[in-house]
A and B are shown apart, each in its own frame.
Chain A
Amino acid sequence: MELSRRTFFKFAGAAGAAGLAGRPAAAEASAHAPVNTPSVLVDTTRCVGCRGCEAACAEANHLPGPEKPGEETVFESRRKTDVHTYTVVNRATGAKTPEPRFVNTQCMHCLDPACASACLAKALEKTPAGPVVYHPERCLGCRYCMVACQFDVPKFEFEKAAPYIQKCSFCAERQAQGLDPACASVCPTGALTFGRRADLLEEARTRIYQNPGKYVRHVYGETEAGGTNWLYITDVPFEQLGFRTDLGPTSPPELTRTALAAVPLVLTLWPPLLMGLYTFAKRREEASKSGAKEAHHD
């Protein structure tokens, strides 16, 4: 744990420096959602539920190993990611396919993430390279990121007196070294494909078109919440895999942009307006005073 945190700090520092150096580029990237950043395509028709990704994730992030390794019973209830578990594999409920369907859940690495826009201290940040990373040294523990995230991804160390947020970092550190994310690097069936987002979208559509009637004609993550770096295709309804299907194409930060735009407006318009009202009120008072005096004289 200690080792991983130290190396994480190192990465965080490097990312921060990169951010400083390339500020205009970074700003542009977040304004016009970076479209071709590193991504993963998940094809649930290829997943056999081996949970190798869970084990690889735990190892890469120095987390305690996956719950009930190698036991089928783990699929009896739908699990969620936690402070010690950044990715989980669940079995689809009610799927009518001959084989059971499985799906992995982790941070979706949104193109314009709610969590990063919610954070008042930039502890969560969408890096120009793609991953949404966490800078623990900046975090206040307000948990706005947790409620802002539509995918319920950030998890909080409620049991600690000095808690941090924990979530999948898309193995940003490994990616910086030119390695694939741990989960994708071990997937034995090709259910997880690591690549560039535009290429993976093309690949996803190709698989849907070339197998008529097999897949649901939707790439989850293409537009959801403004688009994500994790993309999913499947042959069962997405609800059965536990996905929210009520998320529109608007990126969450877009919803607060008008409210934030009011700040300079209020700060520049209110003072002169109020000074005007003050002057008006004062004149009226003086006028009524002198009016009263005149009335008295008459």
Chain B
Amino acid sequence: MTDTTLDRRFDARAWMTDKFFLGMPLGAYLRSLLTPGNALVALILVPGIPAVIYRFVYGIGAVSNLTQANPWGIWIGLDVMSGVALAAGGFTLASAVYIFGLKEYHPVVRPAVLTGFLGYLFVVIGLTADLGRPWKLPVPMVYSYGTGSVMFEVGWCVALYLMVLALEFSPAAFEWLGLKKAREWAIRLTLGLTILGLCLSTLHQSSLGALFLMMPHRVHPLWYSGFVPVFFFVSAIAAGLTMVIVESALSHRAFVSRVDPHSHEKLDTLTLGLARAAAIVLFAYFFLKLQGLVDGGRFDLLNTPYGYWFLFEVLGFILAPSLLFGVAVRRSNATLARWVAGWTVLGIVVNRLNLSVIAFNWNAPERYVPSFLEILISATIITIGVMTFRWIVNRMPVLRDDPAYPQAH
């Protein structure tokens, strides 16, 4: 990377080429975008972006299957509930490295923090599609505090944590822009930000579960429990760990040119370490779920269709991956760990959807099934999120150190 700041004359064109077009002339850069992956992106965004515009012009009813009886759907269950859980890698890894001193995981902190930051950013963007009056978001932030509301706590924590994540990621952006002073300041904040991030994450990850505490009349008794906030927090840690395994595996395939060539074998070791942690967390989560089942005392409901689905979640998505992670660690099989991680991520999405959509309003006569446009709008937001991740990774020092800052972050 040429250090343009050393030049007396600032060459805007060279700077643009270097920073934005990956060092290529504009024409070559645009041609480089014609890939099969981008064709898929276009396939989603070409109908997706008009669908988002349509939703804001004609209202939620015009695009969704949401009704008076089912006011919450996949925009809450997938975009918000699952999105926040899957973005937990940022606080999990930052805490492991900067607080608990597990320095060997340093190479995966930056991608985890970036995943967290973009995860939360797109949760908030997705939320604006779900909110009837998103321009009123400043109301609870500025002058009308609903302090008795769990949603108030979630809103504040998410807003603050989004800022924390932006600051945690800022050193990478400053390195990219060559702003050494700003980077030094941002690095100094690391420990404080990590502690604040862990506090805020403890609160809002669990509070997303606490939203359901007030709804024993809606959530199926097998999923309803006073322990839901604890389930959400513990499973968020599992989601964070397994998302880092999945995300690093995908990144090492997709961004070969951006990855430190020596890091492939190292990544296997890190993957197995994360798998070991995930095995323990998932086993604890499994035991907590058992405790919830005993506490609820509704064993009679296990022998019903919802009961089978509950058992499938607890055994198939929690106990099984916990044991399989153990097998992967014993056999040093990183590939197995990666597949199990993917399965666990899916399981946590299923859990969030169970609480907010599938086992929600389970006894109501009217069932909710998302409309095509609801799914398309969710897919559009997720796609733009993934593209933003790719855009940043291709430009900023995320997957490997910037040569100008050796062993920096």
Residue in chain B with minimal CB distance to A268:
B199
Binary contact track B60-98/A, C-beta < 8 Å → 1, others 0: 111010111101100000000000000000000001001
In the complex, chain B residues 101-130 whose Cβ is within 8 Å of any chain A Cβ: 101, 103, 130
CB-CB contacts below 8 Å: B187-224 with A: 191, 195, 198-199, 202-203, 206-207, 210-211, 213-218
**Chain-B contact segment, one of A67-75, A176-184, A197-205, A269-277:** A269-277
Question: Are the CB atoms of A162 and B202 closer together than 8 Å?
Answer: no
Interface-lining segment among B137-145, B242-250, B322-330: B137-145
B57 to chain A: closest residue by CB: A161
Taking A155-B68, A163-B132, A164-B132 as known contacts, 19 extra A-B pairs with beta carbons closer than 8 A to each other, sorted by chain A number, are: A116-B148, A118-B151, A118-B214, A121-B140, A121-B144, A140-B134, A146-B68, A147-B218, A158-B64, A159-B59, A163-B59, A253-B148, A262-B203, A270-B195, A270-B202, A271-B199, A274-B195, A277-B100, A282-B101
- Residues of B within 8 Å of A266, CB to CB, are 199, 202-203
Q: Does A80 contact B (CB under 8 A)?
A: yes
- A152-B144 contact in complex given A120-B152, A138-B136, A263-B203, C-beta closer than 8 Å: no
Q: Is B153 an interface residue (CB 8 A)?
A: yes
Count residues of B near A (Cβ-Cβ below 8 Å).
Answer: 59
Residues of A within 8 A of B (CB): 80, 82, 114, 116-123, 138-144, 146-148, 150, 152, 155-164, 244, 246-247, 252-253, 255-256, 258-260, 262-263, 266-267, 270-271, 274-275, 277-278, 281-282, 284-285
Residue pairs across A and B with Cβ atoms less than 8 A apart, 7 shown, are A117-B149, A117-B214, A119-B149, A140-B131, A142-B131, A278-B191, A284-B101
Per a CB cutoff under 8 Å, which of B62, B98, B133, B150 touches A162? B133
Complex partner residue of B133 from A82, A140, A270, A281, CB under 8 angstroms:
A140
Q: Which A residues are CB-close (under 8 A) to B50?
A: none
B139→A150 contact, CB < 8 A: no
Q: Known contacts being A122-B145, A155-B68, A277-B100, is A114 close to B214, with CB within 8 Å?
A: yes
Bound-state CA distance A179–B176 (Å) is 68
CA distance A140 to B136 in the complex (A): 5
Residues of B within 8 A of A267 (CB): 199, 203
Instruction: Write the chain A residue with the least CB distance to B101.
Output: A281
Of A114, A148, A247, most buried by chain B (CB within 10 Å of CB) is A148
Cα A282 to Cα B132 with chains together (Å): 49
Residue of B nearest to A278 (CB): B99
A285–B229 Cα distance when bound, in Å, is 34
Contact A120 B61 (CB under 8 A): no
Minimal beta-carbon separation of A216 from chain B (angstroms): 21
Please report the C-alpha to C-alpha distance between residue A278 and residue B190 in the assembled complex, in whole angstroms: 12
Residues on the A chain within 8 Å of B207, using CB? 259
Cβ-defined contact, A140 with B67, below 8 A: no
Chain A residues with CB under 8 A of B229: 259, 262
Question: Which of A120, A140, A267, A284 is the most central at the interface, judged by chain B CB atoms within 10 Å of its CB?
Answer: A120
B307 at interface by CB-CB < 8 Å: no
The SS class assigned to the B binding surface is: helix
Looking across the interface, which residue of chain B has its beta carbon closest to that of A80?
A: B68
Interface check B58, CB cutoff 8 A = yes
Q: Which residue of A lies closest to B70 (CB)?
A: A147
Closest CB in chain A relative to B142 CB, distance in Å: 10
With a CB–CB cut-off of 8 A, which chain A residues contact B103?
285
Q: Is the CB of B203 within 8 A of A158?
A: no
Max count, chain B CB within 10 A of own CB: residue among A147, A148, A244, A275: A147
Q: Which residues of A contact B214 (CB under 8 A)?
A: 114, 117-118, 148, 252-253, 255-256
A121 contacts B206, CB within 8 Å?
Answer: no
User: Contact at B68–A156, with CB atoms within 8 Å?
Assistant: yes
Q: Is the CB of B211 within 8 A of A144?
A: yes
B316 interface contact, C-beta 8 A: no
In the assembled complex, the CB of B13 is this many whole angstroms from the nearest CB of chain A, namely: 43
Residue-wise, chain B 32-58 has the 8 Å CB interface mask toward A (1 for contact) of 000000000000000000000000111
Give the chain A neighbours of B217 by CB distance below 8 A.
150, 244, 246-247
Residues of A within 8 A of B95 (CB): 274
A274 and B146 contacting across the interface, CB-CB below 8 Å: no
The 10 A-B residue pairs whose C-beta atoms are closest, nearest first, are A141-B132, A281-B101, A158-B61, A259-B210, A120-B152, A120-B151, A143-B71, A163-B132, A141-B133, A146-B71
Residue of A nearest to B100 (CB): A281
| A148 adjacent to B132 (CB under 8 Å) | no
Contacts of A142 in B (CB 8 A): 130-132, 151
B146 near A120 with CB under 8 A, answer yes
Determine whether the beta carbon of B132 is less than 8 Å from that of A139.
Answer: yes
B57, B98, B139: which contacts A140 (Cβ < 8 A)?
Answer: B139
Chain B residue at smallest Cβ distance from A144: B151
* Contact in complex: B133, A262 (CB < 8 Å): no
The complex places the Cα of A147 from the Cα of B146 at a distance, in Å, of 17
* Chain A residues whose CB sits within 8 angstroms of the CB of B206 once the complex forms: 259, 262
Q: A147 CA to B206 CA in the complex, in Å? A: 19
Of all chain B residues, the one with the shortest Cβ separation from A253 is: B148
CA distance A113 to B57 in the complex (A): 33
Chain B residue nearest to A140 (CB atoms) is B136
Q: Which residues of B contact A274 (CB under 8 A)?
A: 95, 99, 195, 198
Q: How far is the CA of A118 from the CA of B145 in the complex (A)?
A: 12
Q: In the complex, what distance in Å separates the CA atom of A159 from the CA atom of B132?
A: 10
